[in-house]
Amino acid sequence: MHPTIFLDPQFTIGVMAGWILSVLGVGALLLASVWYSLAGEWRGGSVRPPSAFRALLGLGFVFWLGGLLWQFVGYWKTGTLSW
């Protein structure tokens, strides 16, 4: 049986939404790593990576970090996390 905290809407918005955002960020970073491993001409040379690749890396990192911070704030607001 799950604890009653999983039925709390504040927990769902505060923690699970941050978890989903983190998963989306990790997915974007994994997609960027596959793109990097398949790249040929710009991986080892002096040519810069495409702007879309750099944007995907930045977006993935921001989503991952933002989701992690969102979870910490959500845990703090629900009273699950305390110092």
Condensed to tens digits (0 to 9), the pLDDT of residues 18-41 reads 999 999 999 999 999 999 888 766
Higher pLDDT, 30 or 13: 30
CB 60 within 8 Å of CB 29? yes
| Separation between Cα atoms, residue 24 and residue 42, nearest integer Å | 26
pLDDT at 1 over 60: no
Q: What is the DSSP letter of 44?
A: S
Q: What is the pLDDT of residue 2?
A: 60
| Separation between Cα atoms, residue 78 and residue 83, nearest integer Å | 13
The model's pTM: 0.79
Q: Give the pair of three-digit tokens for residue 46.
A: 């002096």
Condensed to tens digits (0 to 9), the pLDDT of residues 63-78 reads 999 999 999 888 888 7
